[in-house]
Amino acid sequence: MDNIGVIISLILILGGLVTLLIRSLQAREVDRRIIFLFIFLAVAAPILFPMTFKEKATQVVKSVFDKIENLPEGSTVLLSFDFDPAMAPEVQPMANAISRHCFEKGHKIIFMSLWATGQALLSHSLSEFILPGFPEKENLVDYVSIGYKAGNEGVLNVIITDIQKMFPTDVNSVPLDSIPIFDNIESCKDLDFIMSIGGGKPGPKEWVLFVGDPGDVPVGVGVAAVVAPQMYPYYPGQIVGILGGVKGAAEYESELIRVHPRFAEMDTPGLRMMGPQTLAHVVIMAFIVIGNVVFFRGRRREKKE
Amino acid sequence: MKRQIPLFITFFVGTLLIFSVFIPPMETLGENFTLFFDIIAVFAFFLGAGNLVRVHVSKLRKRKADWGFSIVTLIGFGFMLFVGLLKIGNPGGIAADVTAPGSWFQEMFNYVINPLQSTMYALLAFFVASASYRAFRAKNREATILLMAAFVILLGRTPLGMMLTAWIPDSLSIFQIPNMAVWIMNSFNLAGQRAILIGISLGVVAMSLRLILGVERTYLGGDDSG
Amino acid sequence: MKKTTYLLMAVISALFVLSWILKAGSLSGETDNYVIQGFLITFSAFLTLSVLSFLYADNPLYKFAEHLFVGVSAAFWMCMGFWTTIVQNLIPRLSDGLSSFFEVPPQPGDYNFFFFIPVILGILLLMRLSPKGGWISRWPLAFIIGTTAGLNFVRYLRSDFIKQISNTFVPLLGTEWQGIGHFFSNLDLSASGQLVTMAANWVIFLGVFCGLIYFYFSKEHKGAFGAASKVGIWVLMLTFGASFGYTVMGRISLLVGRITFLFRDWLEIIS
């Protein structure tokens, strides 16, 4: 049924693109809403009739995976949710996959956020996606959420030397000095790994500038696709690796399933999203090609005249 | 006085924070000033919210165009403030996480802010598609290079790229689209972004210095009366 | 309002109520709060569709959604700032009474008279709302600007300038030639043979150098300088092309997220 759905959708989209090409060549006006409809179809069809692909992790993603995989059991990882709903579909799958990976390896996780919206998304992620897979994990022992603080990079400037000064309590007003995870953690310099997931300011870049470089702490970044190219100058000297956009999330999920097959049973939104992503990319490339065919035809005609 | 005191504050705080990096005994002072900054940032949120209310109340009073929608803004603002400040429905009470699952505040986030913000940004997918059809032309050599890089990335960052070029033997694997995408990202993109980054950093450093030394004063505004 | 507008509103309201009833019905076996949950999911879908309706044309539904978002977001950030920073970081340092009211545990040595400074500066910042006392809000503004400048000065200089330059000095010639080696391996540039690695290093070194030359406007771009600048443009074009590709990817992901919500959480046509 799914295959038939995929074929029908592909035929519809292909037929539509050919019609678009013909109309464009005839120099007839194409309403922008037709273009919008194409994109909607290209995204909706693979969601209705899922197309699944295998992914292979690139080195920038694999370095983050290997870092978490090779940390000794009981290491402390800080995971910062520095994003809002506008980035969430891209980066939340990464955050979930990395949290699961850390739990699977027996690491302790400190969750925090530099964005107010990040704390709300973190709360949602923890209760809906992360903790249901790990019912044995105990709050304050295996993980803790210290939440959000206002002040952007100002927050980082304090926690690089003293976490408790900036975060006297966790989100539920439990003093940090009574939380077992913080027994040997005074500042960010005592952490084994930091993963910042975001895409705006403050976000991964600020973690590199204010914590990673001055504190010599390994920092990995998971970023929205728009920001991903801007993070490459920091790799590999200043950051461990980069998860860029939904593709980065899909690669991480595929690596997680490859090494820990039990995660195949869990939801993998990154991998699931690659179907619609692929078709939409093809349609956008087709738009560029059609636009250019019409442009060059027009230019040649102008030259002749 | 109206200008001298702010200029002194900027100079004092800026210099102190720079020195606190290099002089360990000043570290605590630097932390405290940063904490002050974080607290003032919250007052900036209050200022933003206050300004929003002022603008919409004024719009409502003067019955300006679309004044009816200002009521929506004010009701939304008031309701969210009410459920947030009083932690209505929070299962853990006053000391618990303000975003605890089940609290009204968190439900408002999940079912109002989340869909609204993500859909507003999702609209951009449609506009990017429309721009690709109407504006993305290989008019000259530079634009063609840009277009080719975009195509390699668009294909290389999807499974389709590998499917199309999987037949290329390993000895020539550099011509497989995903590998070309990796190559572009790790060398050309890295170089270009680094050149931009170095330029921006020089700009930030120069601007910071201008601000601290009081050369740059535009943030003080031109009108002394306020 | 026109008669058709009333009719349209009636139809939308009827569809909303119908969706609410159906959604509540489908949730009735799963949760006790199925009526409220049904309403929330329907309202969420209504807001999603209201924003998407902008694609057809600007309309009152979109304006409703837009205005609601502005109001709710402002209050959200305000509440978050209040509970996470004012209550947890400021109040324990200023007042024991308020600390116990908000059930924030007092910390030994917390009380610090100096924390009245940000309170005073914060109140001065709020003076901006007053028509006559706005000038005094320059003091906290100066504090914010000074802090940002002080924080950024050293960090940008270290991470985005010095480290970037030092990272650009990569080995351009291997000391010992070990053959061409792999062209690529496992989507990993660093796992390639010596030829590809060296070529990549050359691209990085020359790319940064030529890119910087392009941004140098104090000398006319002619001769060798002009040629380097031209190479710089090409490198930058490749960079922007990559950025465009990634931007498309990002925007599509957001749309996938919303359509998935509509199909799965609201309409339940996919699992």
**Per-residue b or e along C223-259, where b marks 16 or more CB atoms closer than 10 Å to that residue's CB:** eeeeebbebbbbbbbbbbbbbbbbbbbbbbbbbbbbb
Assess A271–B contact: CB distance below 8 Å, yes or no.
Answer: no
Q: Which of C197, C131, C141 is nearest to B44 (CA)?
A: C141
Q: Mind listing the pLDDT tens digit for each residue in A9-54?
A: 888 888 888 888 888 888 788 888 888 998 999 999 889 888 878 8
Please give the Cα distance from C92 to A175 (Å, whole number). Answer: 12
Q: Mind listing the pLDDT tens digit for each residue in C79-118?
A: 999 999 999 989 888 888 888 888 888 765 667 788 899 9
Q: Percentage of residues in chain B with pLDDT exceeding 90?
A: 61
* Range in A275-279, B175-179, C137-141 the model is least confident about: B175-179
Which strands, in side-by-side order, build the sheet including A143-148? A143-148, A108-113, A76-82, A193-198, A219-223, A242-244
Residue C107 pLDDT: 67
Residue B123 pLDDT: 94
Q: Which of A290, A298, C239, A8 is nearest to B129 (CA)?
A: A290
Q: Mind listing the pLDDT tens digit for each residue in B49-79?
A: 999 999 999 999 988 888 889 999 999 999 9
Count CB-CB contacts under 10 A for residue C36: 13
Average pLDDT, chain A: 91
Q: Where does the pLDDT of residue B226 fall: very low under 50, low under 70, confident under 90, or very high at 90 and above?
A: very low
Residue B27 pLDDT: 86
- Same-domain status, A109 and A229: yes
Neighbours of B (≥3 Cβ pairs closer than 8 A)?
A, C
Assess C164–B contact: CB distance below 8 Å, yes or no.
Answer: yes
- Cβ–Cβ gap A291/B134 under 8 Å: yes
Residue C190 pLDDT: 62
- Cβ–Cβ gap B189/A232 under 8 Å: yes
Residue C106 pLDDT: 75
Please give the Cα distance from B87 to B95 (Å, whole number). Answer: 9
**Per-residue b or e along A113-130, where b marks 16 or more CB atoms closer than 10 Å to that residue's CB:** bbbbbbbbbbbbbbeebb
Q: Are residues A224 and A83 in contact, defined by beta-carbon separation less than 8 angstroms?
A: yes
Residue A5 pLDDT: 78
Under DSSP, is residue C185 helix (H, G, I), strand (E, B) or coil? strand
Helix (H) or strand (E) holding C186: none
CA nearest to B193 within chain A: A230
- Cβ–Cβ gap B96/A278 under 8 Å: no
Count CB-CB contacts under 10 A for residue A293: 13
- What burial class does residue C193 get, using C-beta atoms within 10 Å of its C-beta: 0-12 exposed, 13-18 middle, 19+ buried? middle
In B, which residues are within 8 Å of C104 by CB distance? Answer: 95
Q: Please tell me the number of Cα atoms within 13 Å of B34 on its side-chain side.
A: 31
In chain A, the number of structural domains is 2
Global pTM value: 0.92
For the ranges A117-121, C30-34, C55-59, the maximum mean pLDDT occurs at: A117-121
**B131-152: average pLDDT:** 90
H-helix segments, chain C: 3-27, 34-52, 60-81, 91-94, 96-101, 116-126, 138-155, 163-168, 194-214, 223-260
Amino acid identity at B90:
N
Q: How many CB pairs under 8 A join B and C?
A: 441
Assess B194–C contact: CB distance below 8 Å, yes or no.
Answer: yes
Assess C92–B contact: CB distance below 8 Å, yes or no.
Answer: no
Q: Mind listing the pLDDT tens digit for each residue in A194-241?
A: 999 998 889 999 999 999 999 999 999 999 999 999 999 998 889 999
Q: Quick one: residue B89, left, alpha or beta (phi over 0 = left, psi -120 to 50 = alpha)?
A: left
Q: Mind listing the pLDDT tens digit for each residue in C112-143?
A: 788 899 999 999 999 988 877 778 888 999 99
Nearest to A229 among C189, C239, C263 (CB): C239
Domain around A47 = 2-51+273-304
* Range in B105-114, B165-174, C17-26, C230-239 the model is least confident about: B165-174
**B-contacting residues of C 2-61, CB under 8 Å?**
40-41, 43-45, 47-48, 51-52, 54-55
- Same-domain status, A132 and A189: yes
Residue B222 pLDDT: 64
- Same-domain status, A198 and A145: yes
- Cβ–Cβ gap A209/C155 under 8 Å: yes
Chain B: give the shortest CA distance to residue A154, in Å.
5
Q: Are residues A35 and A16 in contact, defined by beta-carbon separation less than 8 angstroms?
A: no
In A, which residues are within 8 Å of C155 by CB distance? Answer: 153, 209-210, 213-214
Residue B225 pLDDT: 45
The single residue listed with the structure tokens 């001769």 is C223
- Cβ–Cβ gap B193/A162 under 8 Å: no
Amino acid identity at A286:
A
Average pLDDT, chain B: 90
In this prediction the ipTM stands at: 0.91
CA nearest to B34 within chain C: C147
- Same-domain status, A213 and A112: yes
Residue A253 pLDDT: 93
- Same-domain status, A45 and A83: no
Degrees, nearest 5: CA angle A144-A146-A152: 145
Question: Residue B118 pLDDT > 50, yes or no?
Answer: yes
Cα B1 to its chain centre, rounded Å, is: 35
Q: Which of B218, B49, A81 is nearest to C82 (CA)?
A: B49
**A113-131: average pLDDT:** 93
**A256-275: average pLDDT:** 89
H-helix segments, C53-168: 60-81, 91-94, 96-101, 116-126, 138-155, 163-168
Nearest to C143 among B18, B37, B208 (CB): B37
Q: Where are the domains of chain B?
A: 137-211
CB contact set of C16 (below 8 Å; sequence gap of 6+): C42, C46
In B, which residues are within 8 Å of C199 by CB distance? Answer: 187
**A158-182: average pLDDT:** 92
- Same-domain status, A191 and A215: yes
- Same-domain status, A129 and A45: no
Q: Which of C242, A245, A55 is nearest to B151 (CA)?
A: C242
Under DSSP, is residue C188 helix (H, G, I), strand (E, B) or coil? strand
Residue C238 pLDDT: 94
**End-to-end alpha-carbon separation of chain B, Å?**
13
- Cβ–Cβ gap B195/C232 under 8 Å: yes
Residue of A25, A282, A284 to mutate, interface with B, max B Cβ within 10 Å? A284
Q: Which of A148, A182, A135 is nearest to A163 (CA)?
A: A182
CATH label of the domain that carries residue A196: 3.40.50.10160
Question: Residue C155 pLDDT > 60, yes or no?
Answer: yes
Assess B64–C contact: CB distance below 8 Å, yes or no.
Answer: no
- Same-domain status, A200 and A286: no
Chain A: give the shortest CA distance to residue B76, in Å.
17
| Strand A219-223 relative to strand A143-148, pairing | unpaired
Question: Residue C180 pLDDT > 60, yes or no?
Answer: no
- Same-domain status, A286 and A217: no
- Cβ–Cβ gap B133/A162 under 8 Å: no
- Cβ–Cβ gap C74/B52 under 8 Å: yes
In A, which residues are within 8 Å of C89 by CB distance? Answer: 149, 166, 168
- Same-domain status, A200 and A298: no
Residue B223 pLDDT: 55
- Same-domain status, A18 and A70: no
- Cβ–Cβ gap B97/A145 under 8 Å: yes
Helix (H) or strand (E) holding B99: none
In this structure, the dihedral spanned by the alpha carbons of residues A152, A156, A157 and A158, taken in order and rounded to 10 degrees, is 110
Cα A96 to its chain centre, rounded Å, is: 9
Chain B: give the shortest CA distance to residue C59, in Å.
11
Question: Residue A101 pLDDT > 70, yes or no?
Answer: yes
Average pLDDT, chain C: 87
- Name the more confident of B17 and C32: B17
Please give the Cα distance from A276 to B122 (Å, whole number). Answer: 14
- Cβ–Cβ gap B18/C156 under 8 Å: no
Chain B: give the shortest CA distance to residue C227, in Å.
14
CA nearest to B111 within chain A: A85
Chain B: give the shortest CA distance to residue A172, in Å.
4
Residue B135 pLDDT: 85
- Cβ–Cβ gap C67/B33 under 8 Å: no
Residue of B40, B123, B157 to mutate, interface with A, max A Cβ within 10 Å? B157
Please give the Cα distance from C199 to B48 (Å, whole number). Answer: 51
Assess C261–B contact: CB distance below 8 Å, yes or no.
Answer: yes
